[in-house]
Amino acid sequence: MKQIIIIVLGLAWGTVSFFWLGYSILTLGNFMEEPGSLDYVAEGESMRIYGLLGCILYSMVFVPLLFFLYKRKHYLYSFLVSMILGGIIPGIYIFVLR
């Protein structure tokens, strides 16, 4: 039963990670706007701090979670594999099926 809960939590965390890190990295690198556009200059540079903040907050949540699961290695491996699958599923939906 615990293994199933870990797998479901890994799938959910993988989906959250896909969107959270994806948006944070796009904002941090200013990749969301076209270079040379008014939005790129006006909003892009000021939004980079929010991308950095998103990456820092993600690591502040993810690292303690990994540390907690590190004590139970078989749960850690199940969580990481299901997390990767949880990130692949929305990626396939967004980039392939749409």
Q: What is the pLDDT of residues 16-60, one digit of tens each?
A: 999 999 989 888 887 777 777 766 766 767 788 888 999 999 999
Give 98's DSSP letter.
-
**Residue closest to 20 by CA, chosen among 67, 53, 69:** 53
What is the reported pLDDT for 6? 93
What is the reported pLDDT for 33? 72
CA angle 17, 88, 15 (to 5 degrees): 30
Q: Is the distance from CB of 52 to CB of 28 less than 8 angstroms?
A: yes
What is the reported pLDDT for 27? 84
Global confidence as pTM:
0.80
CA dist 34 and 45 (Å) reads 13
The tokens for 1 are 């039963």
